[in-house]
Amino acid sequence: MRYGDRTYFRDPENVYPLPCDLPEIHRQSLRTLMLLRVLGGPFCNPHLANRPPKRILEIACGSGLWSGLCHEYFTRRGHPDVAFAGIDVISIAPDLRKQGMNWQFKRHDLRRPRLPFPDDYFDFVFIKDAGMCPSSPAQSASGLSEPLRVLKSGGILEVWDSDWSFRSLLPNPAPARKTTSKEQEIADATATYTFSSATPFTRAQNKFVVDYNSWVEKSFDRLKLTVLPCATIGLSFNSEVDLLENVDSRRVAIPLGDLRWERDGQGKDSKNRPRKALTPEQISIRRTALLTTIQMIEGLEPLLMESSGKGRDEWDRWWAAMTADLLQKGGLASGECLEVSAWWGQKK
C-alpha cells in the first residue's frame, strides 16, 4: 500500500506500522551497525565467541545484514562454515551464498503458529528489532515458545530491541550493577550509558519529543502494541524459568544529542573523571541514533498524523519545526536517549 512515496503492508490484519521499502531497509541497516558498535559485537552472550554455534537462525532478518556481519565475525575467528537461516514476511535479503555464506532464507509470516523448522534444530536463535511484530516476545507472552522449540538444549537465545518512546537521563548516572569491565570500556569509548531499573530518568524535556511520545503511545495502544518492548522482553525471558537458564541482559542509553550536563563539565565517566569532549566516533554514534529516530518518526507518519489530529499542512509545519530543533538547534541537550536492550539465555 502506498502512502505518499512510502510503501506499507496492505494486509489489514497485519498491524506492523513501519514501511517496507528501501529507505526503511537503510534505516534498519544504520541502526544495526550502530548497535553492533554500542554492544560490542553481533551478540552479547559471553560464551558464543569461544563455542561457535553450528546453526544460527535470525528471525525477522530483513536484509540479512546481521547474519552477514555475524558470518564475518566467525570467519575472522576461523569458523567460516557456520550455517545461517533467515526468515521474514517479505523477501528482501540478497542471496548471501554469493558472498560465501552457508545461507538459507525462508519467507514466513510470524503470525503462523509454527516456525518452519524441526524441534531442537539450531544452536543459536537471534531476534533483533522485531518489537513491532504482534507475535514477537516484545508483544506476546508466548513470543519465546517457538524460538525455544527450534533451539537445541544448551543453545543460546538472544533478543535485541529498543523502546519506541523516549525519556531523559539525569546527570551522572552510576553504571548499572553487574556491568563487566569490558562492557564499561565499550560504554566509555562510545559515550553511552549502561543502565538498570534503578538508573535515574525523567520525562522527556523537548517539546517535540513530548508530542511524539503522546502520539505514539496513543497509536500503539489502539493497535494493542507496547511502546516499551524492552520491558516486555525481560518479562518474557523471566517467565521461561522452566526452559531457560543463565539469563542475563544489557541495557544501554544512547544520548540523542550533546548533553548540557556533559558540556558544562558536570559529566563524569565511569571512573568519576570529568568527561572529555566527544570524539568524532562518539558524535557519529549519537547522530546515527538521532537520524534513525527521525527516520522512524517519518515512517510512522500515517499513524502519528491520525493520533495528533493534524491536517497535512499543520503536520508539515510541525515536522519542519521538529527536524530543525533536533538537528540544528541543539534541542536534545536535556538528556533524551534511545534506550536499547539485549537479553539472552541458554536452553536447559
Rounded average pLDDT per 10-residue block, the chain, 348 residues: 83 82 95 98 94 96 96 96 95 90 94 92 96 74 88 98 96 86 94 93 98 98 91 90 94 96 69 77 98 98 97 98 96 96 97
| 40: Cα within 13 Å, side-chain hemisphere | 21
pLDDT computed for residue 158 by the predictor? 98
Within 10 angstroms of residue 236's Cβ, the number of other Cβ atoms is 23
Q: Where does residue 287 rank: exposed (0-12), middle (13-18), buried (19+ CB within 10 A)?
A: middle
Q: Global pTM?
A: 0.94
pLDDT computed for residue 162 by the predictor? 96
Length of the chain: 348
pLDDT computed for residue 265 by the predictor? 65
At 258, list the grid cell. 550533546
pLDDT computed for residue 203 by the predictor? 97
Q: Give the separation between CA 26 and CA 288, rounded to whole angstroms.
A: 12
* 3-class DSSP state of 237: helix
CA 92, distance to chain mean position in Å, is: 19
What is the DSSP code (8-state) at residue 179? -
pLDDT computed for residue 148 by the predictor? 96
Domains and CATH numbers, the chain: 7-347 (3.40.50.150)
Phi and psi for 104 in degrees, rounded to 5?
-135, 130
* 3-class DSSP state of 182: helix
**Closest C-alpha to 139, from 50, 228, 63, 18:** 228
**What is the b/e burial string over 16-55, where b = at least 16 CB atoms within 10 angstroms of the residue's CB?**
bbbbbeeebbebbebbbebbbbbbbebbbbeebeeebbeb
pLDDT computed for residue 16 by the predictor? 84
What is the DSSP code (8-state) at residue 97? G
Q: Are 117 and 150 in contact (CB under 8 A)?
A: yes
CA 273, 183, 257 angle in degrees (round to 5)?
A: 60
Q: Are 168 and 334 in contact (CB under 8 A)?
A: yes
pLDDT computed for residue 92 by the predictor? 87
Phi and psi for 193 in degrees, rounded to 5?
-130, 120
